[in-house]
Amino acid sequence: MRHEEKHRSEHIGWLRASVLGANDGILSTSSIVVGVASASSDYQQVMLAGVAGLTAGAMSMAAGEYVSVSSQADTEAADRRREEEELRTTPEKELDELTDIYMRRGLDRPLARQVAEQLTAKDALTTHLRDELGITEELAARPLQAAWASAASFAVGAALPLLVALSTPTEWTTIAVAATTLVGLAALGGLSASVGGAPVVKAAVRVVFWGAVAMAVTSLIGWLFGVSIE
Ligand SMILES: [Zn+2]
């Protein structure tokens, strides 16, 4: 039961990260496309800016995620070394510590002691990492995997407005990109809400509203800039 529960929340965490990455990819790239298209009717400039936005965004997601997950991994490694050291130098204290943890979780002292002793005999380090620090093999920080996953989901999201811009005539670029972006954002928002058990329509409306605001702002700025450099 406990295992199944944990597994599900892990799955949601992974899905949530991908949805957020795709969300960022769609919205920032379509904002760039709409902004540049408002300033210039040069199709090549619009596509160039969009592709640059995709690349820059994916790299920035990867770098940001790598740095943040790496520092988490460093913390976990330091915790692991500290536990190893403590288990070697003060094993009795560590056994008491584990007994206290199981008592706080609801076992009486003799049973907590027995559990602590048996788990220590089996694999003391894994037991301390898991029950004292909450570090498990499945939840361990993996910087490269996290970096790759967020860059890839960003790129997939960013591909949507670029494909739309590529396949519509220039005079329709702005409206077509804006419309498909709002539909894409609504679908992603609804998906992540339904997986997490949150109200679907509310989530979709919220993300569509902020998406529309973002594109309106960049298109206004693009238009002002386009007017001023002409
Ligand atoms: Zn410990």
Does some domain include residue 1? no
What is the full per-residue pLDDT of the chain (230 aa) written as tens digits? Answer: 444 444 455 555 667 778 888 999 999 999 999 988 888 878 888 999 999 999 999 999 999 989 988 888 898 899 999 999 999 999 999 999 999 999 999 999 999 999 999 999 999 999 999 999 888 877 777 888 888 889 999 999 999 999 999 998 888 888 999 999 999 999 988 888 887 778 888 888 998 999 999 888 988 888 888 776 65
For the stretch 157-213, pLDDT in tens is 999 999 999 998 888 888 999 999 999 999 988 888 887 778 888 888 998 999 999
Does some domain include residue 6? no
Residue 72 belongs to what domain range?
16-229
Does some domain include residue 161? yes
How much distance in Å is there from the Cα of 5 to the middle of ligand 1?
26
Element (H, E) at 138: none
How much distance in Å is there from the Cα of 164 to the middle of ligand 1?
55
Does some domain include residue 35? yes
Does some domain include residue 127? yes
Own/partner pairs for 117-120, CB < 8 Å, 24+ apart? Answer: 120/91, 120/94, 120/95
Output the pTM of the full model: 0.74
Number of domains in the chain: 1
Angle (CA) 181 211 156, round 5°: 45
Closest Cα to residue 47, out of 168, 136, 226? 168
* Rounded Cα distance, 114 and 128, in Å: 15
Give me the torsion for CA of 123, 125, 130, 134, rounded to 10°.
180
Residues 104 and 90 sit within 8 Å (Cβ to Cβ): no
How much distance in Å is there from the Cα of 90 to the middle of ligand 1?
9
Does some domain include residue 141? yes
CA end-to-end span of the chain: 66
Does some domain include residue 217? yes
What is the reported pLDDT for 1?
A: 42
